[in-house]
Amino acid sequence: MNAEHTALVLVELGAVFFGLGLLGRLAQKIGMSPIPFYLLGGLAFGDGGLVQLGGIDEFTDIAAEIGVVLLLLMLGLEYTANELFTGLRRSWVAGVLDIVLNATPGAAVALLMGWGWVGALAMGGVTYISSSGVIAKILNDLGRIGNRETPVILSLLVFEDLVMAAYLPVLTAVLGGTALLAGATTIGVSLLVVTLVLVVAARYGRYVSAVLYSENKEIFLLKLLGAALLVAGVAESMHISAAVGAFLLGIAIAGPAAHSAARLLEPLRDLFAAAFFVLFGLTTDPRDIPPVLLWALALAAVTTLTKAYTGWWAAKRSGIGTVGRARAAAGLIARGEFSIIIAGLAVAAGVGDSSPGAGDSQLAALAATYVLLMAGFGPIAARLVEPVVRKARRSPAPQATP
């Protein structure tokens, strides 16, 4: 790499990260998730955007992979294996309803777009999974952590995370295009490994924590990051998603080690996750969006209603009042990091490719547009639903005309 190219890379990276900081600040000021802004930033500087960045491809590729690993590692740190099993027992009925109502629209659109059953499997996941990161931020920002409906929301998120732990290995095997017998074997091995790791995490997680934990922050960070990348790499080599490997490692870390790890990794996660969302935007041509915009709007409208009904029904089943049900309904709407991860796996496998000359991937364009809509609307709906419901309940019912 010559000096001129190095200078170009440094200038482009500096501009990208500084721009992401400005976008994140803007999102913070208006009370939104930064994910839509990062996607828009990627769209603006990728193929077909305002200015094309050509010198940072290698860095953004590896940074995006690390971003996925850290996103899922941090998500795993939020739960213990016992909490996952408890959440599964408590929320499995609402969780099954969640799958049926919210995966079906995405799968149906994929079939209508001609992407086949593989595309349907991927798009079903895109529309099914709520964003744990965005929703956790919403609950914290609105001061709803202690609300009665919050355990319902968290139980559904736990159930979704468990589904993802089984779904991602299956999707990875299917996207790999393996033969039927080999694919079934790969899926079986993946599910067996996931189950074994969960059982080991439940019984022996304290030993994993003891090996990794250190009072010295530098040593602890090096161990954590090294273990996460090692596990992710081994998982990938076994045809289990690297994301799932990182998620399972996070579950295995428990107690004070998990809390310390979460605080230590948060800045790194935010940095590399931003790179991941930007990369997805960079690889999506804005010219591909208009042909799928109506599909994205339709999916957003339908899955807003289906996800809201899931939250309302689950809260009602737990005996929560009208206002709490409405908060649970709106609190689950946001989609984000997992939807983009699923779409990224499908796009890398060539699912949803457009015809020559029409752009790179309709699936990438549809997923990016859909997440932009849902990650933007979710926080707004969560913020507005309570005053709207309370106002509606205070309004007198219209009297019948004599």
Q: Give CA–CA dist 343/368, Å, rounded.
A: 8
Q: Which two tokens stand for residue 252?
A: 């295995």
Residue 100 amino acid letter: V
Tens of pLDDT, residue by residue over 5-48, are 778 778 877 887 888 888 888 887 877 778 778 878 877 776 65
Q: In sequence order, what are the beta bridge partners of 353?
A: 361
| Secondary structure, 3-state, 287-308 | HHHHHHHHHHHHHHHHHHHHHH
pTM of the model: 0.73
Domain boundaries defined on the chain: 8-389
| Residues 345, 65 contacting (CB under 8 angstroms) | no
How confident is the model at residue 56, as a pLDDT? 65
DSSP assignment string, 78-138: T--HHHHHHHHHHHHHHHHHHHHHHHHHHHHHHHHTT-HHHHHHHHHHHHH---HHHHHHH
Residue 212: pLDDT above 80? yes
Residue 167 amino acid letter: Y
Q: Which secondary structure element, helix H or strand E, spans residue 341, and what is its range?
A: helix 337-348
| Residues 383, 31 contacting (CB under 8 angstroms) | yes
Q: Give CA–CA dist 356/360, Å, rounded.
A: 8
Q: Which two tokens stand for residue 342?
A: 């699923």
How confident is the model at residue 310, as a pLDDT? 96
User: The domain 8-389: what is its CATH number?
Assistant: 1.20.1530.20
Q: In sequence order, what are the beta bridge partners of 361?
A: 353
Tens of pLDDT, residue by residue over 233-243, are 887 776 666 77
Q: Give CA–CA dist 395/385, Å, rounded.
A: 15
| Residues 65, 245 contacting (CB under 8 angstroms) | no
Residue 127 amino acid letter: T
Residue 353 amino acid letter: D
Rg of the chain (C-alpha set) = 21
Residue 59: pLDDT above 90? no
**Confidence bin at 400 (pLDDT 50/70/90):** very low
How confident is the model at residue 241, as a pLDDT? 64
- Side-chain half-sphere exposure of 70, counting CA atoms within 13 A: 26
How confident is the model at residue 191, as a pLDDT? 67
Angle at 300 between CA 297 and CA 305, to 5 degrees: 135
* Among 54-63, 100-109, 284-293, 340-349, the least confident range: 54-63
Q: What is the DSSP letter of 395?
A: S
Angle between helices 322-331 and 362-394 (to 10 degrees): 160
